[in-house]
Amino acid sequence: MSEPATRTRAEYIAAIDDTLRQISWRSNKQLLQTLSQPEISLTMPQMVALFAIRATGSCRMSELAEVTQQSAGALTGIVDRLIEEQLAIRLHDLNDRRVVQVMITSHGQERLARIEQARYQTMEHILRQLPCDQLTHLEALLRVLLYRIKELCNNQELIFDQRNHHPGGVASEALYKKT
């Protein structure tokens, strides 16, 4: 009987990269389906903006544009729609009317809670057959991967900032932290 061929490190990396690409694609597709549910009814940019606003409590439009990686013009339209839906409000600084802060409303908080509940139910469904010991291992490996990705991104941002003489901005990872 011959031994099964073992894969090389490069083959494992390629397979992992392909799997992560598929997970990212399908996860994004599923999130778009969640956002299109009538009780949620948000676009991806609207959701990202709402999470960013919630993470900061209130923020300037310029900070929100940086965190969400949207242009000021695009973000104005996104925030206008959030305000129309009563999910966010704009506040003008009493000392400087040019300074505009954006805050989430209770309706916006409720909408985000619906998204989080729907995402939890999806994850529960996906992971339902894994016992707790496998969930523990999966979480640990995913945390290592996330740490390494953050580390890579921080190094790339540092290099970019040094090349372009930009000071560091608002951390976008706050968008994805659960409060």
Answer whether 68's CB lies under 8 Å from 75's CB: yes
Condensed to tens digits (0 to 9), the pLDDT of residues 118-173 reads 999 999 999 999 999 999 999 999 999 999 999 998 887 767 666 665 444 444 45
Task: Using alpha carbons, list the distances in angstroms from residue 83 to 79, 86, 103, 130, 175.
Answer: 6, 5, 10, 41, 19
Mean pLDDT, the chain, integer: 89
Taken in order 58, 62, 68, 72, the sign of the CA dihedral is: positive
pLDDT at 177: 53
108 contact partners, CB below 8 Å, separation of at least 6 = 50, 53, 54, 82, 86, 87, 88
pTM: 0.81
Query: Taking 50 as the threshold, does the pLDDT of residue 115 lie above it?
Result: yes
As a whole number of angstroms, the distance between CA 109 and CA 104 comes to: 7
Answer whether 52's CB lies under 8 Å from 64's CB: yes
- CA-closest candidate to residue 51, choices 33, 31, 37: 31
Taken in order 47, 51, 54, 58, the sign of the CA dihedral is: negative
Considering only the top CATH level, what class is 37-176? mainly alpha
